[in-house]
Chain A
Amino acid sequence: MNRKPYRRELSKTSWFMTHQRYKSYMLHEISSLFVAIYAFILIIGLFRLGEGPEAWEGWLGFVASPIGVILHVLIFVFSIIHTMAWFKAVPQAMRIQRGEEIVPGKLIVGAHYGVLAAVSLFVLILAGVA
């Protein structure tokens, strides 16, 4: 046989380094890890609250410690990345059609940001910050 097709393999461990697009994708994927860590910290907090005032104070102390603050800043940054990535993807997964018109993706994304802002504001007001 004169044919000899040449196969180029994608490396299973470093494929995402081959294109900027994949690097950003990996960043999104990693961001979910931080969101998970945050959920974990919150759950621990809940347990501590159940264990009594001392445990709770200890948890608050950890949260306010330099490590806790740095961790939270990181979590904050990554959850923004996470949110933006998913908001951007929403119009693809959720196509809304009104008659002959497809609702523009920008509108759907915008609505998501709007709701996010409203909820955040509400929480901040509840917390007495704003």
Chain B
Amino acid sequence: METRDVTIEVLRYRPEQDSEPFFQSYTVPCEEHWVVLDALNYIKDELDRTLSYRWSCHMFVCGSCGMVINGEPMLSCKKFVRDFGDKIRVEPLSNFPIERDLVIVQDDFMEKLSSVKPYLIPKEERSIESGEYLQTPAQLKTYKQYTMCINCLCCYAACPQYGLDDKFIGPAALALAHRYNADSRDVGRSAREDVVASHEGIWECSFVGACSLVCPKDVEPAGAIQQTKFTSAIDYITGMVSGGGKK
């Protein structure tokens, strides 16, 4: 098989040895059909066993392999080497602490994810015998886009607001809250409101829109956040008019 030599510059950081990250270059004979992840796997298997990064499915659905490639956060299994020149620079996702090499620490995100109560809160429990909730294709469509998030964290790496203040709940978690709020089977919006509409929630977002641009799954978190702002504002106003029902 024909190959082309590509220089892969990887940001390395080995906590037991290095005081700060540095770039290391590898020359990789890349095949035409390779994605950037294949090049990393080549490095790992043939050149340097000490390079660490996360990956699993190789079909952009497990969300493990988000990295910053030539300055943009993306999935390394979805970006083809052939679309780049002779040099590709690979860094860990920005805005997160680096654990080691391309591996970031994502505890913070995991906490935020659970903080928005990302599960169906139905009006009342339904017995299995009574079968499924009815939901038309149109009702499904309303929230479907926001179910597509694979938690790859590319959006957090692109969001300057999160970079400046990591208390911000951030795009993917807020989009997920919106996913349940917009589900015809769910009545949990007020239960999620505390976190979602808090200072660290939607109002922290300044609508830079970077999250939506980098999202490999077209989730449109920025849109979800703006829509949530809209409903929250309406809630607030109707709350005031009806005499402070909600806070």
CA distance A4 to B222 in the complex (A): 33
Contact A92 B105 (CB under 8 A): no
Which of B71, B105, B163 is the most central at the interface, judged by chain A CB atoms within 10 Å of its CB? Answer: B163
| Complex interface: chain B residues within 8 A of A89 (CB) | 207, 209, 226
A53 adjacent to chain B (CB < 8 Å):
no
B223 adjacent to chain A (CB < 8 Å):
yes
CA distance A97 to B223 in the complex (A): 14
Contact A10 B138 (CB under 8 A): no
A25 adjacent to chain B (CB < 8 Å):
yes
B118 adjacent to chain A (CB < 8 Å):
no
Q: Given that A3-B99, A15-B160, A21-B213 are known contacts, is A102 also in contact with B208, CB under 8 Å in the complex? A: no
| Complex interface: chain B residues within 8 A of A8 (CB) | 94-95, 97-98
Flag B212-230 by CB within 8 Å of A: 1 or 0 each. Answer: 1100000010110011011
Within 8 A of A (CB), among B64-105: 71, 94-95, 97-99, 105
User: Interface extent on B, as a size class?
Assistant: 20 to 34
Q: Given that A6-B21, A92-B226 are known contacts, is A97 also in contact with B141, CB under 8 Å in the complex? A: yes
Contact of A2 among B15, B97, B208, B210 (CB under 8 A): B15
Flag A1-38 by CB within 8 Å of B: 1 or 0 each. Answer: 01111111010100110010110010000000000000
Flag B115-140 by CB within 8 Å of A: 1 or 0 each. Answer: 00000000000000000000001100
Flag B5-44 by CB within 8 Å of A: 1 or 0 each. Answer: 0000000010110001100000000000000000000000
CA distance A2 to B229 in the complex (A): 43
CA distance A21 to B226 in the complex (A): 19
Contact A92 B20 (CB under 8 A): no
Contact B138 A100 (CB under 8 A): yes
Contact B160 A10 (CB under 8 A): yes
CA distance A89 to B227 in the complex (A): 12
A93 adjacent to chain B (CB < 8 Å):
yes
CA distance A92 to B212 in the complex (A): 9
| Complex interface: chain B residues within 8 A of A16 (CB) | 160
Contact A10 B163 (CB under 8 A): yes
A52 adjacent to chain B (CB < 8 Å):
no
| Complex interface: chain B residues within 8 A of A3 (CB) | 15, 99
20 contacts between A and B (CB under 8 A): A3-B15, A3-B99, A5-B97, A5-B98, A5-B99, A6-B97, A7-B97, A8-B95, A8-B97, A21-B210, A25-B209, A91-B223, A92-B212, A92-B226, A93-B223, A93-B227, A94-B230, A95-B227, A97-B142, A99-B138
Interface residues of B (CB under 8 A from A): 13, 15-16, 20-21, 71, 94-95, 97-99, 105, 137-138, 141-142, 158, 160, 163-164, 207-210, 212-213, 220, 222-223, 226-227, 229-230
Q: Please name 14 further chain A to chain B contacts, defined as beta carbons within 8 Å, in addition to the given A6-B21, A100-B138, sorted by A numbering.
A: A6-B15, A6-B98, A7-B98, A15-B163, A21-B158, A22-B160, A89-B226, A92-B222, A92-B223, A93-B227, A93-B229, A95-B223, A97-B138, A100-B141
